[in-house]
């Protein structure tokens, strides 16, 4: 189980780690930013190792549900949780659109002070995943992460042509 | 994670697309096919690989719908079909957009927290 594919996103924010930390750990703040353009309803937020975050994202036709369990809570530096898609009863389920997408993911968030601001990094990797799930996620990450190298540029050009035709 | 925005049947094949794309040899084969159709022996050239090994990779790509092969010609040239990749990319863009969009909202929230703090000072 070495070399699991990891998807990393980083962003520099203009406030101190303490403030960033609050936006992940206070339900009224978390609900305001998590999930773009959807109404986020936090049913439970218990930020301590073993505690859970039960999250509902209300969309037009239906809701999406996620359950996270905290593994590591190290304010204001590091937050590690195991996150999965669930049904409305908070029971883990496969993604209906892509059965081999990992059902459970390890999400690690780190906050690093940079000058007056904070570099926030999120890392996603499959958790307790089957080989098919790991392959599925690896394929996705490689596409996102430039694993294509020269091929990627050609692909983009081709896709642009396809969308024009 | 459940992005939840698009669960149309158009994505049902994506797992096999991603699995097909996860292999570096298959990505090189696809990159080669972007330049135009090619026979198995032509595809073997850049690799120290036997024709049966390359054929096996082609079968995976065919099952994912990324490659089609002519049935009526002796050399059965392989041809790229990019549409499943377009679907794969749009799925990934959804995934990335979820976080980028959330981060944008977080930026806005932080700005309002910052002005609250300033008021207190």
CA distance B78 to A122: 40
How high is the pLDDT of residue A50?
Answer: 98
Chain B contact for A160, CB < 8 A? Answer: no
Q: Which residues of B touch A64 (CB under 8 A)?
A: 2-4
Angstrom distances, CA of residue B79 to CA of B24, B28, B90:
18, 14, 22
Burial of A147 (0-12, 13-18, 19+ CB in 10 A): middle
CB A20 within 8 Å of CB A117 = no
Q: Which residues of A touch B102 (CB under 8 A)?
A: 33-36
Of all residues in chain A, the percent with pLDDT exceeding 90 is 45
Q: What is the pLDDT of residues B89-113, one digit of tens each?
A: 666 667 777 888 899 999 999 988 8
Mean pLDDT in residue range A143-155: 46
Of A65, A72, A75, A86, give the one whose Cα is nearest residue A25. Answer: A75
B34: Cα separation from own chain's centroid = 14
| Interface contact A148-B114, CB threshold 8 A | no
Of A39, A66, A68, give the one whose Cα is nearest residue A52. Answer: A68
Structure confidence at residue B6 as a pLDDT band (50, 70, 90): very low
ipTM: 0.73
- Residue of chain B minimizing CA distance to A150: B31
- Residue of chain A minimizing CA distance to B82: A159
């Amino acid at each position: 189980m070495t070399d699991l594919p990891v998807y990393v996103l980083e962003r520099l924010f203009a406030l101190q780690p303490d403030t960033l930390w609050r936006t992940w750990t206070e339900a009224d703040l978390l609900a305001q930013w998590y999930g773009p353009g959807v109404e986020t309803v936090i049913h439970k937020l218990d930020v301590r190792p073993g505690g859970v975050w039960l999250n509902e994202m209300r969309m037009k036709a239906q809701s999406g549900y996620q359950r996270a369990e905290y593994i590591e809570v190290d304010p204001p530096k590091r937050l590690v949780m195991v996150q999965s898609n669930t049904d409305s009863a908070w029971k883990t389920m496969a993604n209906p659109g892509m059965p081999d997408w990992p059902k459970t993911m390890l999400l690690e968030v780190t906050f690093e002070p940079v000058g007056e601001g904070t570099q926030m990094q999120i890392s996603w990797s499959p958790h307790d995943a089957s080989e098919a799930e790991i392959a599925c996620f690896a394929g996705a990450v490689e596409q996102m992460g430039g694993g294509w190298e020269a091929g990627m540029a050609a692909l983009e050009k081709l896709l642009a042509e396809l969308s024009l035709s | 994670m459940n992005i939840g925005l698009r669960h149309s049947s158009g994505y049902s094949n994506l797992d096999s697309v991603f699995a097909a794309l996860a292999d570096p040899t298959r990505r090189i084969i696809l990159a080669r096919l972007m330049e135009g159709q090619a026979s198995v022996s032509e595809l073997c050239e850049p690799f120290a690989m036997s024709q049966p090994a390359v054929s096996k990779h082609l079968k995976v790509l065919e099952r994912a719908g990324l490659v089609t092969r002519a049935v009526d010609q002796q050399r059965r040239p392989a041809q790229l079909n990019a549409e499943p990749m377009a679907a794969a990319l749009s799925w990934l863009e959804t995934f990335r957009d979820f976080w980028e969009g959330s981060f944008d909202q977080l930026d806005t929230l932080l700005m309002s927290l910052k002005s609250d703090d300033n008021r207190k000072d």
